[in-house]
Amino acid sequence: MWAWRILGMIAFVVGAIGIVLPVWPTTIFWIVAALAFARSNPHWADWIYARPGLGQPIRTFVETGRMSMRSKSAALAGMALTAAGTIYLSWNHPWSMAGSLGLLALGAAFVISRKQPIAPEPERLMKKSTEQKGE
């Protein structure tokens, strides 16, 4: 229980760096944090899910393993930039470059293999929109 909470806190803090530093990924670390918090402190996972912009895609991935095309595109674009940087910076070190590019290829294959989220049923959408109007 404590190990999950510590892992979640570390992943959350490392991911939070991405809010301030644009080249640092936030989402992947917050996915790890949400998974860890779901096992140790569900209220903290719910807090992550409530974050505008990131929360819903993270929740969808954690609960279903699915990714929207927008999320896939962003992840693959980030990986492509990382690959370009890796090639540029490690041109003289072919083994480290090959290892890094291999890991990026595995990550890209994983992202590509994720299915898209199931579209909500029209009845649920109608019910949700009428509930929001009543608030």
Q: What is the pLDDT of residues 42-96, one digit of tens each?
A: 999 999 999 888 888 889 988 898 998 988 998 899 889 889 999 999 889 999 9
- pTM summary value: 0.71
Reported as a pLDDT band with limits 50, 70 and 90, residue 105 is very high
Q: What is the pLDDT of residues 25-40, one digit of tens each?
A: 788 888 899 999 999 9
Is residue 19's pLDDT more than 60? yes
Is residue 99's pLDDT more than 90? yes
Task: Compute the distance between CA of residue 134 and CA of residue 132 in angstroms, rounded to an integer.
Answer: 5
Q: What is the pLDDT of residues 116-129, one digit of tens each?
A: 988 765 555 555 55
24 alpha carbon, distance to own chain's centre: 12
CB-CB contact of 48 with 34 (8 Å): yes
**Burial environment of residue 16 by CB neighbours within 10 A (0 to 12, 13 to 18, 19 or more):** middle
* Torsion, CA 79, CA 104, CA 85, CA 95, rounded to 10: 180
